[in-house]
Every structure is written in structure tokens, then in C-alpha cells.
Structure 1
Amino acid sequence: MNDDAGSGVEGRGAEVLVLAPGGRDAAVATAILREAGIPAQACPDLATLSQGLDQASAAVLTEEALAGTDLRALTSWTLAQPPWSDFPFVVLTRRGGGPERSPKAARLAGFLGNVAFLERPFHPTILASAVRSALAARRRQRQARDALAAEVTAAERLRFALHAGRLGSWEFDGGTGELRASEACKAVFGRAPGDRFGYPDLLAAIHPDDLGRMQDAVATALAECGDYDIEYRTIWPDGSAHWAEVRGRAFRDARGRLLMAGVSLDTTARRAAEAELRRHRGQLEEQVAERTRALEAVNRRLRAAAEERDQAEAALLQAQKMEAVGQLTGGLAHDFNNLLQAVLASLDLIRRRATDPVQVEKLAVAGGEAARRGARLTAQLLAFSRKQKMDLAPVATGELVEGMRDLLARSLGPGMGLRFDVDHGAGLALADATQLELAVLNLAINARDAMPGGGTLTVAVRALEFGLAADLPVGRYVAVSVSDTGEGMAPEVLARAFEPFFTTKGVGKGTGLGLSQVYGIARQSGGAARIESVPGRGTMVTILLPAAGSEAAARILARQPEDAMPGGAPVTAAESVGALVLVVDDDPDVRRALVGWLDALGYRVAEAADGRAGLAALESLAPDAMLVDFAMPGLTGAQVAAAAQRLRPGLPVVLATGYAAAAELGMDGLIGLPVLRKPFRIQELAEVLAQAFSTRV
């Protein structure tokens, strides 16, 4: 196929071929064309011209060039041109050589086709004009070719798209009622290729229940020249039911005809898939609902089990509490019975040997020692409950434990090794130095008892950083550890080591308060106590104390009550001899002892059995001072003290209590009152009263 595509841009290459073998005709013609701005090239013979026609846009030939020449190649080329192509030739003839007067010229027009004859001689502009006309015609041919190719391409693409989308195309003439449908469109309605399918056939193929809706949609689209979009059921010739989706648009063509064109699609499979999806969705929803009901039932059972477990745990906790209370009361009864036995024996012997001053003195000392043992036992209990008086201050922990070297060596006895591992860079710890020494000593004694065959005791001090912990705020701590190489503890023993009165020692060999006191001291100092033990390898107990200057230490110090005794130079009891002191205490034995002490100190004494009686005596007797017990029925000592200061501003009031700090006594507004902590001695009573009288307003 001869196609000169690609040579249509004027001025690129030789657009015009010139064949003029006689004389200088070829050179002259080529020069004329080039001067006119038309690219031209002379060919030496017809064969060369024929070969160059595919790239040229026009040809100029002389009549002589074609005479007596084999024209088959040229004729074959012109006959093989594509439908759009009609290659232009300009033939230069002699005068009178046109086709109307020359049979030879007529034959040339027959086999060349598109031929323009130009008689010689002619003016150069006539040749240039004729060639330009030929080139213009050739350009129009190529434009037609390109437009036709574009239409063919668009049609091919449309066919491909319709085929890929399984779409059938259709066109409906609203004026004549004629329907033209593609084979794919016929297939949507169950028709085979080649079947007749007009508009009546379409209406017959629609389900009767959907036919009216379809016709209304067609009428609306034609009336409004609008869109047509509908989905309806169809009945195929074999009686099977299907679904078709049809879309289109109504319009008027260039001749004014009312047409509607569009596409159709078989949606039966999609409809079935949607129905199946709905069925599965319904099943899934039912399964979800069923599983939800099952989960709710499981949750109900779990909640019931949790409630039963909580009840069991509460019962177990209550049993453990009762066991602890039983251990506590049993231990207290045992130890206090021993102490009371010593006190009663001493008092009984004093009564029997009242005439022997030496024996009375010895027995009194023995009874006092027994009473002080009871006070120490109470202090241990208070330490465990974190109610013991603690004088917290920055302590050089490393120096403190190293200063206990001799005391610990004597406590351990022979056969025991003692070593210290102290990091002096650990810094100061917030602690009560006396209580810390007591804790370390208790741990050393426990370690000694755990190494009956000998061993090594190690006391270590180091600094630690703690993140978020269950029993400690975040911050810096100083750790004091006491470890041994003894028997260690079994897990069940380790779990109860800090319980009060829990001990694995024999009867009479320990109260079971040593580790609980250590725990209480650590917690009251703002820290914690930890135990690590491996049976057969030893035990390590660590006291964690807030580092001085840390946030934890600052919080502990901020909570310390200011219950210091008021200042002032003390005076002797003799300087207030004859002053009337009102004693308010609900315990008759304690009240009797206090009255006796005050009488021995030279005071006049009045007494009241409770807070209300004390306030009544305050108004009637006008005492010079009051000694009030804190824990009384009705009105507490704090309430009595507050009422007394309102009634008698400046009246010295001394509180007596077994608790530690004023902040825990409900004494808001009474901070600064002197406090006697039971048990106290007569010398302490004398000093407190002397200080109270010295600050009297």
C-alpha cells in the first residue's frame, strides 16, 4: 500500500519531484519552484521519480518525459493508492497538448488520475501557482486521512470498552420507533446473534410488572432530552428470568431527529451475588448476635465467679486478720503476763518486807525495770503501727553503721565474722538515728540466731534510684542492708516475716517483734523494707530510706508535726509549791497514782473522773494548771483542753497520752501544748509542770 504519511510538513525534504529530461527544463522548473519557497528536486528518470512518490506531495513532469517510456511502474503506484489518496501530477505540454485536443494527454489523465496540464510557454508564477494548488489538495487529503483514522480509532476503542465491560450498545429513534441493537445488546435479552430484535421485541422481553415503569422512563427521557437510567427484570425466550441495567440519553441530531442512545448490561449475576451477600450478612449478624449472647453468658458466669472469689478472699482476709489478732493478743498476753508477774511479785515482796529499806529499794528497782520492759514492748508495737515518735533528720548512714562496729561484734559473739561494705558517697538519709541503730541491731541479732554454726554478717550501705514502685515514690534512696550466710527462710516463712509476733524461734527466745519493728521504722521514715532469702544460703534484709534532699524526704519532713515542748527556763517544783493542779483521767488507778505523785511534789491536787466533770471543776475550783488524759469517753482530752483555754485563757494545760504526735490527736489549734507520753516517770512529770508554770501568762 503506497502511503506518503510523514511528508506532509511543507518545507521538509523535497515536496515536489521534477522530471524534465529535455535540455535545461528540469533545472529551470526546479529553480522557479525554489524561488517560490517550494522544496523541489529534479529526478534523472521515471524510475527514480516513481520510487520517490511515497515521500513527495506532488510531481511536475514534461510531456516528453512520458513519451515512449514504460509507464507500468507509475501506473501500478497510482492504482495502489489508499482510498483517501489522489496524488497530484502537473504535466507540462506543448501548445495545444491538452486532453481536449490531444489524445495522448487524455490517456495520461486516464492512468495518472489527478493530473493538471500546463501548456508551454508559461510565466513562472503560473507554474508556482499550479504547484501550490496541487500541494494544498494533497494536504487536504492527508487531513481527511487523519480524521478518518481518528474516527476509526475511537470506534475501535469504543468497541473494546463495550466488550470489556460486557456492555451492549443500542440506538432508538423516537420518531419512527426503530431500535438498532448490537449483538451484545441482544444477548442481554437472551437473543442470539442474527436474531431480529426491534422495539416490539424489546417490550415483549420485559417482565410485565416492570414494563410500565420502563415505558414511563423512556417517555420522560424523550420529552426532556435527558438521561435514561433504569434496571428491570427480563424474560428470556427459554422462560428464565434475568435482570438488565439500561442507561442512555435522549438528544436531537443535526437533522433534528429525536434519538436516544446508550448501553445495556446483564446484572443477573450481580443481583445474585448481592442476594447471597445479604444472606451471608444476615447469617453473620445472627452469628455475631449468638456469640454476643454467649459472651454475655460467659461474662455473667465470670462476674459470678469473681464475686464468689471476692467473697472467698474477703473471708480469707478476715480469717487472716483474726489469726493475726489472735497471734497479737496471745503474744501480748504472754509478754505482759511475764512483766506483770515481775511487777506484782516486787510489790508483794515490798509489802511483806516494808521494814527492810534495803530490800524495798531492790524490789522497787526490779519492779521499775519490769515496767520499763513493758514500755519498750509498747514502743515496738507503736513502731510497727508507725505511731512511734520519730525524730527524722539527715543522717550519715555509713558513719552510723560503722560506729556500731564494737556493739555489733559484742552482740554477735565469737565465731562470727563481721564485714562492712559502705559507699561513703551514698549521701545522707532521712532517718531517726536511734531507731535506725535499733533496727540494725535487731537485724544483726536475728542474723546471729540464723547462723548457729557460725558465719559472716555483712552490713552494706549504697545509693539507689527507684522508678515507679508499688510501695515507694519515684526518687533517690539510701539502702542499708544486713545479710547473713545462715539457714535462710522457706517461701512460706518469708511471706510472713514482717508479721508481728510471728517467729520461728522457740518459746521464750523471742517476741516476734524484731522484723516487724524494722518494717515499722522503715515505713515511718518514708521508706520501705525488703527481704531476700534462699534456704541454705542466707538472708538479706534491706532498709530503704529517702535520701536527704530528695522529693520523698521533703514530703516526709513536711508532714512532721511541730509538737516540741515550749521553751523557757525550767523552774523547780518548789517554786510552785501550793499551786492547785486539776487531774482529769477516767482510769481511777492512774488518777490515784498521779494524785500521789503531785502530792509528793508539793502541789495541791483536785481530781475529776471525765472531761465534763473536769470542766465543771475548772469553773468552781479555779485551778492553777490542768493535767488531762487524752483518751477518755465523752469528751477527749483535746476537747477538754480547747474548752479550758476558752474559759481560762493562759491556763497551763498538760496532755497525757500513749500516742505520739499532736497532729494525730485531733489537736487543731492546740499545737504547742506540753505532752506527756505514757508511761512516764515522776521526774518527767515534775519537769513538764515546771515548764508549763514558767510559760504561764
Structure 2
Amino acid sequence: MLVLAPGGRDAAVATAILREAGFAARACPDLTALRQELDRADVAVVTEEALSRADLGDLAAWVRAQPAWSDFPFLLLAHRGGPDRNPEATRLVGLLGNIAVLERPFHPTTLVSAARSALAARRRQLQARDALVAEAKAADRLRFALRAGRLGSWEFDGDTGELRASDACKAVFGRKPDEPFSYAELLAAIHPDDLGRMQEAVAAALAGSGDYDIEYRTVWPDGSIHWAEVRGRAVWDSDGRPIMAGVSLDTTARQAAAEELRQHRERLEDLVAERTRALEAANQQLRAAAEERDHAEAALLQAQKMEAVGQLTGGLAHDFNNLLQAVLASLDLIRRRSGDPAQVERLAAAGADAARRGARLTAQLLAFSREQKLDLAAVAVIELAEGMRDLLARALGPEIQLHYAMDEAVGMALADATQLELALLNLAINARDAMREGGRLTVAVRMAEFGVNADLPAGRYVAVSVSDTGEGMSPEVAARAFDPFFTTKGVGKGTGLGLSQVYGIARQSGGMARIESVLGRGTTVTILLPAAESEAAARTLGRQPTGIPKEDLSKLGAGSLVLVVDDDPDVRRAMVAWLDALGYRVAEAADGRAGLAALKHLTPDAMLVDYAMPGLTGTEVAAAARRLRPGLPIVLATGYAAAAEFDPGVLAGLTVLRKPFRVEELAKALRDARSAERRCHPHASAG
């Protein structure tokens, strides 16, 4: 607010009153200063004496030049009231227009109230200005949008039938800007086949049934056919007259493109159908060829595997015959020298050792002939490798030198001992084949420690390496050496399973297998196994005593009854004799059905069942026996596979004993089975 009051303290008092009321007020020293500030002000408070003798021409010109929306408010502080009693006020109203007269003296609240009213009126003027500006901008944007979108605007009076169309709208129908274009001329420009549809749409829109949205063909004055898309909406004015307004667009190019696209699509569909038929025929040929190839590969794989088994078992059969010879010789000598206890014990120990070696060879054959889950335990790798020295030497032959490089500080590794032996044997045979002119094979065991590595967790590992001085591999061959069925040997010379099996054993053990090779200089394959140096891991080896003193074995049975079910009479007789020596009473059955029949009138304290029997398997007999005698301790004896390969639901609560086993292991298995059943069924009776 501007204040012009040059007399006395009027300006200071009026400014103070307005500021105290919350207004931004500023005093002007003279009329010139007031005029210069008016463009930035909202209200002017002036005294009568400040204007009565001044030249108001410039101020009056400013008032007349205001835009239509503006009527600047003045508050005139006069001594003699309003225009009816003050001729000077009348003159000022004529010059300045919007003047409110306050007669002095007045109360401050009167000035504040008048100032608020004047300010509110000025704000309404400014709002009207903003609305007018926004409307003008919107109109500009609409005109720009219509031009940019090549849209024509139109308006149709539903009562009078008057049509008003823009130049762009006329162009959609082939008319020039200066040509008249009435509603009748519009109807004449529409294709006859589309006219009825257009008139129905107009009638529906005027009846309030929805927007007007249609696309139809038009006929231009030159006879050419075009397309127009027209959209609009009906509104009703204050007199209730229906007015439709909207836009129109020439869509001839779009329709032509759509027609061309449709034709392309039809041609493409024909091509796709033809190509699909050709592909289906080719796929049928490929499937037939693939099936034929699969049959051939399966036959070849089976032949190669059988050949590989034959190659491996050829050497093992020789060793196994030697072991059987040692067992037979020991048994024959025991029979001939039964009166010499010391000699009998020595011969029995030698025979047992040979039998254990035979069991290890059998496990190797089982591991090679079928896929097994690993039985991981802490393994003394150096002892295992040393135990294979003779076997490896025979597999390599006399032309290849076998050398061992062992780091005696190496502890135990987490591995499956049988599978690790198989891996070493496979590597030795591969190395032998790579040294056709003879050479040197080195088996090395050392410790290795790794930090963070992409393919191996950080930690300590036992590294088992097999190195040869053979022909080596190229980088391309070495990169694929661990792939299943990949082999550089000729057809019928190898299955390509050896190195992939080594890799799988290492990975399943939590380690890694790596290969280093230089063409013409040899190959080194390293198996990295996690170190397992704790006492708990060492106890899983199974090489320590069973914890049952030899002199106490005869007291274990304490007269308890054990039912033995085995279809092999020799094995059954041996089991009966062992159990009798352990102090058990024994009942026997020749197969599963006989064993279940015996349970109907016997109440055994435990049951020893062979797994592989005709008719019913050992697991089937065990399941049926539990239904007849809940809580009966059962030991399952098997020479075929690890316990992990059986159905876990059938094995629950069973004690599995791997053949061949010693009398101490049988005694421990029976003791463990009875203890386990007592924990699971504390109130169950053995019978």
C-alpha cells in the first residue's frame, strides 16, 4: 500500500496504522513518487490536500491506460465527506475512477477496514487477470495443437443446422479456405455407403447417447476417395440448444498404410505357414536321425563301457585270484596244522588280511560299475596311496617306472577311500596309455592352502597328484579333458569316463580336480581334497578296534536268540557258528518267507537278514518283520551297495552291515541295533 500525505505527521500515522494491521505500507514523498510506484502497488491511500492543487494529468492518463480487467483502488482521506458534500472529491472521482472517501477525523479501524476491502477488490481483479491470461494461453495451445496435429475444428448447431468449420477442417473434405462449407455440403461430401452410419452417429450424440466418434470415406470435388476421422461432443447452452463441437483429421495415409500392412501380414502368414510345414518335415527327419543316433550312441557306450570294465577287471581278476589263493592256502594249512594254536592264529590273520584286500578290490569294481553316493570320511591319503603301490605297478607294466613323492607332514583328507583308490587307478591307466614308449609316473601327496578362489573355498587341502612323462595335451584338449565321454582315443579304445569320474569324485568330496599339461612333455592331474585333521574325523576311518575286547566276545550274546535269514547255506553256517561263539542262541531260515514264518512262533531278540535273496529282498523281509514284531532289532547284511542307496523310509532304524565283515563287526552291529531299538521303543518287547 502506498501512502501520500504530505501534511504534518499524517503519512507516518497512516503508515503505522496500516503496518500494525499487517499490511506492507510505504509512504511516498510526493505525487511523482506515487505515480512511479503504482505499477507495483495494490492500493493507494492519499489525502485530499495532496491532490487538490497538483497536476493530475499524468496520474489520470495512467488510470485511463489500465487494461480492461484493472480498476486500481484509491482511499481518499477528505475533510468534508463524500462527493455529495465535497466538490473536490467529486472532481477526483471523475479523474481517478475507483475512489473510496474517508472523512477525517476517523478511527484507525475505519482505515484498516477500508484498506482490507480495497485490497480484496484488487486481488479479485488480479485473479480475473490471471484467468484471462490462462484462457488466452490455452487458446494458443489449442490452436498450436490443432495445427501440429493437422486437425480441423468445427461446430454444429443442432437446432439451426448451421456448420462452422475451420480452414483445416475444410481441407479434410477437399475444400479450399475461401469456399463455403455448409452442413448440406458436408453430407454431400460423404461416401454414399457411409452416409447413413454418419447420420445415425450424429443423431445419437445430439440425443445425449455418448460422444461422436466416427471414421468414414469422403469424396473430394475431383472424385478421389479419402478417409476422415471425426470426433466431437454435444453440449447444451443456457437456452437448451444442442451444440456439437469437435475436430476432424484426414486419415487417408493411415488407412493406406493399414491396408498395406494387412496385405503384408497375409503374405507373411502364408510364408510362415509354408516355412512351418517345411520345418516340421525337417524336424521329423531330425528326430528320426536323433533317435537313430541315440540308439547307436547307447550301443557304442555300452560296448565301450563293457570294454573298459574288461580292461580294468583283467588286472583286478589276476590280483583277486592271488588273494583267493592266499585265503585257500591259509585255510588248508589251518586244517593241516590245527594242533598248533600259534601257527593257526598266524595263518588266520594272513587269510583275513587277504580277504580284506579282496573286499577292497570288490568295492572298486562296484564303484566302477554303478553310480554311488560317496561315503565321506577322514582318510589317511599317504597310507591309501602306499597300499596301492603294488596294484599300480602291475597296472602300469614293466616299461613304466613308478615313483612316490610323499610329504609325511600331510594329515587326513575328507574323501571316500574306495572312490579315491578308483580315481588313482584311473589316472594311472590314463598315464600308462599316454606313455606308449615307456616313461615315469609320479604319485605325490602334499598340503596346499588356498585363499579366496573362484572355484574352491578358502582353506587347507590335501593335494594328490599323478604326473606322467607322456605325450601331453594341447590347451584345447586339456580344457575338455574332464568332460564326460570326451576322449582322444580311437573308437573302441576308451569311454571318456575316467577323467570325468575323477573330477566328479573330487567335487563330491568338497574339493576340485585340476589338470596341467604340455604337449610332448607330459600331464599332471591333481585332486584337491579338504583336509580333515580332527580326532573326530579320524575316528570315522573304521581302522581302530571295535571297542570289544577279544576275550569278552563269547559273553556278548548272554543266551539271547538271533534269527539268521540267508539263502546261501555256507554263509548261513558261518553266521550261525560266529553267533554261537558270541554266546547267542541261533535260529536259521533259508529265505525271507521262511524267516517270516519262523517269526510267527519264535520271539527272537534280534534278526540278521541278508539283502539279496530270491523272492523277498532283505529290506522287504525287515519291513514285514517289523509289522509282526514291532521293536525287533534288525541288522541288514549286504555286499552290493552303500546304505545311502536304499529307501530312507525302509532303512529307518535298521543297522546296515557291509560284507565282508569280521566277527567283531558283527558283534558291534548286533549291539548297536539292540541299543537303537531300546532308545526308539523303550517299552517294546523283543518278542
TM-score by length of structure 2 reads: 0.51
Unaligned segments of structure 1, at least 5 residues: 1-8, 16-30, 42-51, 60-80, 85-123, 138-142, 504-513
Paired residue for 1:487? 470
* SS at structure 2 position matched to 1:238: coil
Paired residue for 2:357? 376
Task: Tell me which of 52, 56, 66 is aligned to 1:40.
Answer: 56
Paired residue for 1:133? 94
Asked whether the 8 Å contact 1:582–1:606 carries over to 2, the reply is yes
Could you tell which deviates more after superposition, 314-323 or 161-170?
161-170
In 2, Cα distance between equivalents of 1:564 and 1:371: 15
Paired residue for 2:306? 322
1:276 aligns to 2:257 (yes or no): no
Task: Tell me which of 447, 450, 463 is aligned to 1:461.
Answer: 447
How much does 1:382 deviate?
Answer: 1.6
In 1, Cα distance between equivalents of 2:269 and 2:176: 43
Could you tell which deviates more after superposition, 276-285 or 587-596?
587-596
How much does 1:479 deviate?
Answer: 2.0
Asked whether the 8 Å contact 2:412–2:531 carries over to 1, the reply is yes
Task: Tell me which of 177, 182, 186 is aligned to 1:202.
Answer: 186
Q: Cα distance 1:249–1:432, how it changes in 2: closer, same or farther (>3 A)?
A: closer
CA deviations 1:629-659 (Å, max 9, x no partner) are 876656778999999999999x999999767
In 2, Cα distance between equivalents of 1:249 and 1:621: 100
Asked whether the 8 Å contact 2:211–2:232 carries over to 1, the reply is yes
Q: Cα distance 1:558–1:306, how it changes in 2: closer, same or farther (>3 A)?
A: farther
Q: Cα distance 1:280–1:460, how it changes in 2: closer, same or farther (>3 A)?
A: same
How much does 1:462 deviate?
Answer: 1.8
* SS at structure 1 position matched to 2:551: coil
How much does 1:318 deviate?
Answer: 1.6
Paired residue for 1:232? 216
In 2, Cα distance between equivalents of 1:206 and 1:463: 89
Asked whether the 8 Å contact 2:331–2:347 carries over to 1, the reply is no
Q: Cα distance 1:176–1:558, how it changes in 2: closer, same or farther (>3 A)?
A: farther
Q: Cα distance 1:327–1:370, how it changes in 2: closer, same or farther (>3 A)?
A: farther
Pairing of 1:108-187 with structure 2 (within 5 A): 129-130=90-91, 132-136=93-97, 162-170=146-154, 177=161, 179=163, 181-187=165-171
Q: Cα distance 1:12–1:238, how it changes in 2: closer, same or farther (>3 A)?
A: same
Q: Cα distance 1:301–1:181, how it changes in 2: closer, same or farther (>3 A)?
A: same
CA deviations 1:417-470 (Å, max 9, x no partner) are 876567x6x87534699999999999999999979777977542224589898x
In 2, Cα distance between equivalents of 1:612 and 1:226: 87
Q: How many residues align structurally?
A: 548
In 1, Cα distance between equivalents of 2:600 and 2:246: 114
Q: Cα distance 1:202–1:421, how it changes in 2: closer, same or farther (>3 A)?
A: same
* SS at structure 1 position matched to 2:463: strand
Could you tell which deviates more after superposition, 589-598 or 173-182?
589-598
Paired residue for 2:101? none
In 2, Cα distance between equivalents of 1:336 and 1:301: 50
In 2, Cα distance between equivalents of 1:130 and 1:178: 51
Q: Cα distance 1:312–1:256, how it changes in 2: closer, same or farther (>3 A)?
A: closer
How much does 1:309 deviate?
Answer: 3.8
How much does 1:299 deviate?
Answer: 5.2
How much does 1:310 deviate?
Answer: 3.1
Paired residue for 2:366? 385
* SS at structure 1 position matched to 2:217: strand
In 1, Cα distance between equivalents of 2:48 and 2:578: 154
How much does 1:126 deviate?
Answer: 5.0
Q: Cα distance 1:325–1:453, how it changes in 2: closer, same or farther (>3 A)?
A: closer
1:567 aligns to 2:548 (yes or no): yes
How much does 1:35 deviate?
Answer: 2.8
How much does 1:211 deviate?
Answer: 3.3
Q: Cα distance 1:238–1:561, how it changes in 2: closer, same or farther (>3 A)?
A: farther
Alignment RMSD, CA only?
7.8
Pairing of 1:133-532 with structure 2 (within 5 A): 133-136=94-97, 162-170=146-154, 177=161, 179=163, 181-218=165-202, 229-247=213-231, 263-284=247-268, 300=284, 302-327=286-311, 330-331=314-315, 334-335=318-319, 376-383=357-364, 385=366, 394=378, 428-430=412-414, 458-463=444-449, 478-484=461-467, 486-487=469-470
How much does 1:676 deviate?
Answer: 10
CA deviations 1:400-433 (Å, max 9, x no partner) are 79999x99xx9999x99876567x6x87534699
In 2, Cα distance between equivalents of 1:348 and 1:57: 141
Q: Cα distance 1:127–1:322, how it changes in 2: closer, same or farther (>3 A)?
A: same
Asked whether the 8 Å contact 1:477–1:544 carries over to 2, the reply is no
Asked whether the 8 Å contact 2:153–2:248 carries over to 1, the reply is yes
CA deviations 1:61-89 (Å, max 9, x no partner) are xxxxxxxxxxxxxxxxxxxx9xx9xxxxx
In 1, Cα distance between equivalents of 2:553 and 2:210: 120
Asked whether the 8 Å contact 1:523–1:529 carries over to 2, the reply is yes
Asked whether the 8 Å contact 2:366–2:641 carries over to 1, the reply is no
In 2, Cα distance between equivalents of 1:644 and 1:154: 94
Asked whether the 8 Å contact 1:487–1:538 carries over to 2, the reply is yes
Asked whether the 8 Å contact 1:14–1:56 carries over to 2, the reply is no
Paired residue for 2:35? 12
Q: Cα distance 1:455–1:203, how it changes in 2: closer, same or farther (>3 A)?
A: closer
* SS at structure 2 position matched to 1:381: helix
Q: Cα distance 1:676–1:262, how it changes in 2: closer, same or farther (>3 A)?
A: closer
CA deviations 1:9-67 (Å, max 9, x no partner) are 9952599xxxxxxxxxxxxxxx98843497637xxxxxxxxxx89x94599xxxxxxxx
In 1, Cα distance between equivalents of 2:155 and 2:192: 23
Pairing of 1:580-599 with structure 2 (within 5 A): none
In 1, Cα distance between equivalents of 2:236 and 2:499: 105
Paired residue for 1:107? none
Q: Cα distance 1:286–1:332, how it changes in 2: closer, same or farther (>3 A)?
A: same
Letter in 2 for 1:548: A
Asked whether the 8 Å contact 2:378–2:538 carries over to 1, the reply is no
Asked whether the 8 Å contact 1:484–1:540 carries over to 2, the reply is yes
In 1, Cα distance between equivalents of 2:138 and 2:564: 119
Q: Cα distance 1:378–1:194, how it changes in 2: closer, same or farther (>3 A)?
A: closer
Letter in 2 for 1:481: V
1:537 aligns to 2:537 (yes or no): no
How much does 1:278 deviate?
Answer: 3.8
Q: Cα distance 1:37–1:323, how it changes in 2: closer, same or farther (>3 A)?
A: farther
Letter in 1 for 2:307: E
Asked whether the 8 Å contact 2:439–2:468 carries over to 1, the reply is no
How much does 1:192 deviate?
Answer: 3.8
Letter in 2 for 1:239: G
In 2, Cα distance between equivalents of 1:642 and 1:147: 92
Asked whether the 8 Å contact 1:397–1:428 carries over to 2, the reply is yes
The structure having more radius of gyration, on CA atoms, is 1
In 1, Cα distance between equivalents of 2:469 and 2:238: 113
Letter in 2 for 1:206: I
CA deviations 1:615-636 (Å, max 9, x no partner) are 999999999x999987665677
Asked whether the 8 Å contact 1:444–1:482 carries over to 2, the reply is no
Asked whether the 8 Å contact 1:244–1:267 carries over to 2, the reply is yes
Q: Cα distance 1:460–1:162, how it changes in 2: closer, same or farther (>3 A)?
A: closer
Q: Cα distance 1:240–1:317, how it changes in 2: closer, same or farther (>3 A)?
A: same
